[in-house]
A = this chain, B = another copy of it.
């Protein structure tokens, strides 16, 4: 997409998460002109969630009072595996009971508009590329750091999907062959070290072994889920023995993963979104050091490593703007 080619109009962007469904109206400048967030209530089952997605889209259209004639389509993003070509969500770990759901067709039938379906990390990369930190950058990789770790790759100014719509699974790169078990069932994945879940699981395992935190109130394991990443990082900086090396490894292994991407893809830019990237410079300083140590000089020299600016809106903005292509 060239931004110049975008005409007028509006699009709906929807981000289906395990906790919330976010629905927005986006204009061709990537500006959100109305936004709505409702709980997913995924445990009520597939049909209820699909109904809630439909209702949310209808609500955002109604409440925003936009001229429906200006709406050019609906962009939906969700965690994979999904196939943008067929419009089918194969399954999604956060939405129990979802299996081979033809969401594109369901929404096209309901709203009589163009619908595009895209992996949430790809959508976020696309959002940052068109309206965020990566305007005009044609070769980039985007890490979405959250409960899991996703990835989006832009090559030659287009989202790269791979042979089977599976490209960009940065979270499941093996960074330590003898590492801890990941949610995917494999061992030593980046996600097991550097995602919020990975960090918290490692803390829980240490508490189980009887280790104690000096600075965090972790009297019971269940407390770990309530605690913010920010507090964990703060405790690590104070030298808390329980979490210091867990945080250090979270940063180092993220550095190794980014360095691998740099050596493999030689992108102009790596964008970080969510999770531990909210630490900003406190993350970036040690992270860049690790990346420099691990990356061929020619590849490091030209690489920008940067936190995204669209934050948790990158995905909905990106997927809505796919409608304008």
- The answer, yes or no, to whether A261 is at the interface (CB within 8 Å) is yes
On chain B, the residues within 8 Å of A261 by CB distance are 264
Interface size classification for chain A: 35 or more
Q: Please determine whether B174 and A256 come into contact, CB atoms closer than 8 angstroms.
A: yes
Q: Please determine whether A263 and B163 come into contact, CB atoms closer than 8 angstroms.
A: no
Q: Please determine whether A166 and B298 come into contact, CB atoms closer than 8 angstroms.
A: yes
- The answer, yes or no, to whether A131 is at the interface (CB within 8 Å) is no
Q: Please determine whether A166 and B299 come into contact, CB atoms closer than 8 angstroms.
A: yes
- The answer, yes or no, to whether A177 is at the interface (CB within 8 Å) is yes
Most chain B CB within a 10 A radius of its CB, from A151, A172, A184, A263: A263
- The answer, yes or no, to whether A302 is at the interface (CB within 8 Å) is yes
Nearest-CB distance from A265 to chain B (Å)? 6
Residue of B nearest to A141 (CB): B264
Given A174-B259, A174-B260, A294-B174, also A162-B266 (CB < 8 A): yes
Measured CB to CB, the residues of A under 8 A from B are 81, 90, 139, 151, 153, 155, 160-170, 172-177, 184, 186, 252-253, 256, 259-261, 263-268, 293-296, 298-299, 302
10 A/B residue pairs, CB under 8 Å, sorted by A: A151-B264, A153-B264, A164-B299, A168-B266, A172-B295, A173-B260, A174-B294, A176-B176, A177-B253, A260-B264
Closest 9 CB pairs of A and B: A162-B266, A166-B266, A163-B268, A169-B263, A167-B266, A139-B163, A173-B260, A172-B263, A174-B256
